[in-house]
Structure 1
Amino acid sequence: MSGQIIFVIWRESIEALLVIGILSSWLRREAATGAVGARAGRYLWGGVGAGLGVALVFAAMVLGFAEIMPPVLRDDMMTAMVFLAAGLIVQMVLWMRRHARTLKRDLEWGLSDAARSGHWWTVFILAAIAVAREGSETVVFLYGMLAGAAGTSLLGVLGAIAAGFAIAFATYALMQLGSRLLPWGRFFRISEVMLLLLGCALFTTGLEKLVGAGILPFHAPLWDMGGILDDSGPVGGVIASLTGYRAAPDWVTLAGWVGYWAFVTAALAFVTRRTRLAVQRAG
């Protein structure tokens, strides 16, 4: 569970930092030429603060709503959040696959329009949306993960969140230095695979919750690889939490794996084809 939390905080923070970094770099570059004033920076960091505020309010609403619900409905909500988190992870990968190539250019075009018209609230809105989006997604991811786990301590969760932020800032700092070892494009491809594996893990957990609730049928395991890699052991447990691996899957789990990866493969192929056609038309 800690590994899941660290990875999600790391990946979501990197994406938010990327947008903030693009905005900040553009503003610094334009300020050096005298094209923009110091107040533009205040709009940027005001937007960052507003985005964090929106994410915190959303977290409070989710937790507060869960507290007032009857236990049965709370369990249903937790199961729904597990599937929602898995779906959002897939959606995020598809969105980045489609927009990563033009993200910097699109943001800078928006900033150029703001500079020409003097509408610096555009900077505020761009920063606020970026932070609020990533923050709200993180809330859903974390709630879905915690809903799918048992016996997770608050101290362990807070420690994993802190570690995720620390690793994210360190990663961003290294990549801003222009490291040739892991350029942004390669980073997003690697993290894309890791995110899809994590989405499979959450989807598998959701299916198990439906089986436990009697909504889906229970079947005997098709095979048992516990002697080779036990999914409840130290190593197997980490792999299971990050990929959805099960040492003794039943028909429901196997069908879930096949369905999940079939959908992901088809969706990625569709988005990649659309993006390639758009690039060809633009060229």
Structure 2
Amino acid sequence: MFANYLIGLREGLEASLIVCILVAYLVKTGNRHRLPPVWAGVGIAVALSLAFGALLQFGSSTLTFRAQEILGGSLSVLAVGLVTWMVFWMRRTARHLTSELRGKLDAALTLGTGALVLTSFLAVGREGLETSLFIWTAVQAGGDGLRPLLGALLGLATAVVLGRLFYQGAVRINLAGFFRWTGAMLVVVAAGVLAYGVHDLQEGDVLPGLHTLAFDIGDTVPPDSWYGTLLKGVFNFQPDPTVLQVVVWLLYLVPVMAFFLAPERRRPAVPTGRAAGEASTG
């Protein structure tokens, strides 16, 4: 439940911040009357994300067991890829997100209502589709649809409340630091989802080694114990993983975490004005 709460909070907060930036900029620039197209784009994005989640859930239930395993494993790998890209993108652009969105909104204002709807739809829709896919794969990995889903909904609700507080100026936090450390936790969650996806693909006869276990500590950490449930919910821990699952988990987690936590390289300042002219003639 905690892992899915974190997913809902992280992804939902990104979408909430985007909406807050769009709305606040229109209000401050005297374009309050242009808010309805923005909210229309947000509504369409939310509806599309919900429809996508429903399609994943009900569409997969009509498949055979092997097809379900192949679909679940493939979507798990895709979700991990998208989330990995997302956490690195947000780490790189968190400091400049406001100016980037304002630039897009300025361009949309000159083009008209349809451009405003499209801008808000694209800004929120990407987050919504990623959230639906990753929550679905995490729920499948957890094996208990109710509690993971409840955790995700609580995370999204918290994100909406925080977004409102951000808009009102009641909450100020270091967003770069927030996204950095929640991103690191999501990398750990994603590693577990990836290992689960590999197991699904092994059960679907796409990957070999289903019966080649790395270890089996089911007697030491029973899956139905409180600590086994906790490890399963937070890290997608499995007491009897295959060798391939462990190898893939390590090959993903170690390098991705190292790159993610490594200090960012600062770009050298570009010389301007007189200094630039002197540098070019020296």
TM-score between the two structures when normalised by the length of structure 2: 0.80
Residue deviations 1:24-58 (CA, integer Å, cap 9, x gap): 11111111xxxx3x431111111111212222332
Task: Name 1:127's counterpart in structure 2.
Answer: 120
Q: CA deviation at 1:133?
A: 1.2
Alignment of 1:10-49 (within 5 A): 10-31=9-30, 36=31, 38-49=32-43
Alignment of 1:257-276 (within 5 A): 257-265=249-257, 268=260, 272-273=264-265, 276=266
- 1:9–1:165: 8 Å Cα contact kept in structure 2? yes
Out of 107, 110, 113, which is 1:113 matched to?
A: 107
Q: Distance in 2 between matches of 1:269 and 1:167?
A: 26
- 1:197–1:243: 8 Å Cα contact kept in structure 2? yes
Task: Name 1:234's counterpart in structure 2.
Answer: 226
Q: Percent identity?
A: 22
The yes-or-no answer on 1:71 pairing with 2:56 is no
Letter in 2 for 1:29: K
Q: Report the number of matched residues.
A: 269
Q: CA deviation at 1:135?
A: 1.5
The yes-or-no answer on 1:100 pairing with 2:94 is yes
- 2:198–2:245: 8 Å Cα contact kept in structure 1? yes
Task: Name 1:252's counterpart in structure 2.
Answer: 244
Out of 127, 137, 145, which is 2:130 matched to?
A: 137
Q: Distance in 2 between matches of 1:282 and 1:91?
A: 32
Letter in 2 for 1:105: S
Q: CA deviation at 1:179?
A: 4.1
- 1:79–1:148: 8 Å Cα contact kept in structure 2? no
Q: CA deviation at 1:237?
A: 2.8
Residue deviations 1:44-88 (CA, integer Å, cap 9, x gap): 111111212222332344345424433321221112122222222
Out of 181, 196, 202, which is 1:190 matched to?
A: 181
Change (3 A) 1:250 1:61: closer
Change (3 A) 1:96 1:209: same
- 2:11–2:127: 8 Å Cα contact kept in structure 1? yes
Q: CA deviation at 1:15?
A: 0.6
Change (3 A) 1:210 1:118: closer
Residue deviations 1:203-256 (CA, integer Å, cap 9, x gap): 1212333444553323344585975x6665323432343234455655333312
Q: CA deviation at 1:267?
A: 5.5
**Secondary structure at 2:95's aligned position in 1?**
coil
Out of 145, 153, 166, which is 2:157 matched to?
A: 166
Q: CA deviation at 1:125?
A: 1.6
Q: CA deviation at 1:140?
A: 0.9
Change (3 A) 1:121 1:70: same
TM-score between the two structures when normalised by the length of structure 1: 0.79
